[in-house]
A and B are shown apart, each in its own frame.
Chain A
Amino acid sequence: MTDTAERQMELTLPMVEDIEIAAARAAGNLAREVGMSNERIDEMTHAIIEACINAREHSGCADKRMYLRFVGTSEGSGNPRLDIWITDHGRGFDPQQARSRRQQLGPAHKRGWGLQIIEAHMDEVDITTSPEGTTIHMVKLEKKS
């Protein structure tokens, strides 16, 4: 039987300029507590930044807030994991359409890369979206199984 350490944090942040840095720093501190390496934290940081920017720029939510939850776990054998949920109460979007739009535009077009960056830097990404809002759940692992 292995011991499991767990750390949790919940934040409600206003959708203001550069707030994504506060979110990423908070997640980074928690990830360090459960033993995640700087390289993995750096990747996770960039994914969180893009997720927060997407919420701020595109959600169209009335309350102008985003709701974040971080859960860090570390098993006794040493495999830190961070689960991140970022929620907005905006209008939702079609993730498939967002991905295909990026592919149609091609590399010469400069905007709309957030989702691709998130998926490249995280180990698991799951998006739940409806006209009532969007939650993106991202997982960062120290070691892939």
Chain B
Amino acid sequence: MKQIMFIALLAASAAAAAATPQQLMQTYTELAARQAPGYQPSARRGAELYSRRFAVSDKMPACTACHTDSPVQPGQHAVTGKAIKPLAPRAEAARFSDPAKTEKWFRRNCTEVLGRECSAAEKADFVQFLAEGL
């Protein structure tokens, strides 16, 4: 059910073609508030998630393994060495402008780094931190 609602919300935002990080954050916030009424996104919690060492994966123990300690800096893929553009939309405008792409990378990278999918609340916090900083 949760999944269906999310897909509906995603489809609604995808219909508007490109999204802004703020719109994505709004979508995640609405979803999170359904599970925890009164939920508000927090850049501080997002920053904590960004820098926390989960150590589930050897080569990718934290987001910072590829994206560096600062999301406004360019990164490097921890396995392949490929250059990665900054993750923060403050530094790289195209970030978090495509809902389907955002969801794909949350699914892949949360599974890799945290060992599980991220919750809507975690995603809202994360986008808040990357879009607006602390």
Partners in one complex: no
